[in-house]
Structure formats: structure tokens, C-alpha cells
A and B are shown apart, each in its own frame.
Chain A
Amino acid sequence: MAPATANTKIEDQEMLTVSTSRFGELTVSPDKVIHMTSPFLGFPDSKNFMLKPHGKESPFMWLQSLETPTLAFVVIQAAIIAQEYAPHIPNYVKQELKASKDDQLEILLILTVPKNDLKKITANLLGPLVINTKQRLAKQVLQDPTIYDACWPIFK
């Protein structure tokens, strides 16, 4: 999930302008847009997102909806906070995301950050976001609830 960098291939592509409630107007190159092969449960109208790093030194990123200005999730690479996390990704999901190899897939976790107590931040291990970084396709893939929790505290 590298932030947008200079890329000769995109030079003649027009940047998209996105209005957001948190960040004002953002621009994104069309080839950085992430398309949900099925939308997040609860947000059927948002199918395209962009990743916005929180800051240079921060592992947190924003997953901002391109269709809904107010919709943005805080996300993080799963490996950063849960090294042994190994969600099950069925073959049909790999096909849906057009991933021929597992190493094309990246796992992001959606974080719930309470406004009044940041330390009570939790990660949703039950519904990780699986992204094919090359094809820019993504899907929230439900896991076994006896193994993984939807509100897993990331601080002990």
C-alpha cells in the first residue's frame, strides 16, 4: 500500500477530485482507486475507495470513500498489529479479486477508534479487508467467529 508516487504510466491520466468531510478536497490518480467487488456491509453505495496515509511515520491509513464524503475507515496492515493473524481466504474470493498468487493479496484491518479514549482502539479480525494490490480489487472477507473477534483490542 504505497502512497501515490511518481509513475510515468499515469502522466496523461486525469486526476480525480474527491470531496471528503474530514480532509476537504483530495485528488487521486484513477489507477490508485480501489474497487470493492462487493461493498462493505452497511454501505452498499460506496464501491470505490482511496488509501490516504495518516502521516509519514504513521502505520495508520485512511480508506476514504469516493462516493460518500463522510465515509472513511481507519485501517492498518494486519501484519503490523497481529503478526500471527492468518485469515482464511477461500478460492472463490481469490478468483473474485483476480489473484492468481497469494502474494498479490494484502490484508488490512479496519480499526474502531473511540473518540474519547484512543487507547480503547479495536481491530476487526472477523471482517478483514483483502486487497489485490496489483488489480486494485478488494473485498471484506468474513472469518470464523469462533477464532476471530470483531472488536479485538490492539493494546493489552
Chain B
Amino acid sequence: MLILARKIGEAIAIGDDTIIRVLEIKGGQVKIGVEAPAEIAVHREEIYLKILEENKRAAHEAPADLSALTSALTENRQTGKK
């Protein structure tokens, strides 16, 4: 792993068009600004880990027979939002 020391306002360039800049350091937390092309997905790592974990769980559990669920499903409607 490449390790670089940076001060507030300093940045790291990745490739030709991605810049990661330290904006603020306060109370054990660092604010980081990311400039990247639109086609580069930027997410907090936890989101990736959560999706990865849920994918593994979904693949692992998956039973073969789902008939019991089919009828119950039509009676339930939700919006999906939190």
C-alpha cells in the first residue's frame, strides 16, 4: 500500500482526472473532497461492504422451493422507501 502524508488543502492525484483532497481535520475526523469523472462511482466503503455481505447472504441462503411465498406476496404492497 502506498502511504502519503498530506496537510490540509493538499491532495493526491489518481490517474489523469481524479483528485482526492484533504479539506478539514477536526476531532479525529477528516473531511475529504473527491473530484472524479462522472463514470467513476465514489461511495463510502461501508456501502460496498454491506452490498457484498448481503450478496453473500442471498446466495448462501437461497432455498430451491419458494411456492409458499407466491400467494402471500400478492397481498402485500409497500413503497420501498425507509
- Which residues of A line the B interface, CB within 8 A? 22-23, 40-43, 54-55, 57-60, 71-74, 78, 80-85, 90-92, 95-96, 110-115, 118-119, 121, 124-127, 140, 142, 145-152, 154-156
Contact = CB atoms under 8 A, between A and B. Distances in A.
Interface residues of B, number: 36
Nearest to A146: B82
Given A58-B67, A155-B72, A124 B78 contact: no
B38 A60 contact: no
Interface of B: 38-39, 41, 43-44, 46-48, 50-59, 61-64, 66-70, 72-73, 76-82
Most buried by A among B46, B54, B70: B54
Given A58-B67, A85-B79, A90-B38, A127 B59 contact: no
A11 B68 CA distance: 36
Contact of A43 (B59, B69, B73): B59
A135 to B, nearest CB: 18
Q: Is the interface of B mostly helix, strand, loop or mixed?
A: helix
B54 A127 contact: yes
A85 B66 contact: no
A90 B37 CA distance: 12
B48 A142 contact: yes
30 contacts: A40-B55, A42-B52, A42-B53, A58-B70, A59-B70, A59-B73, A81-B76, A83-B80, A90-B41, A92-B38, A92-B39, A110-B54, A112-B54, A113-B61, A113-B66, A114-B61, A115-B61, A115-B63, A118-B63, A118-B69, A126-B51, A140-B51, A142-B41, A145-B44, A148-B82, A149-B82, A152-B80, A154-B78, A155-B72, A155-B76
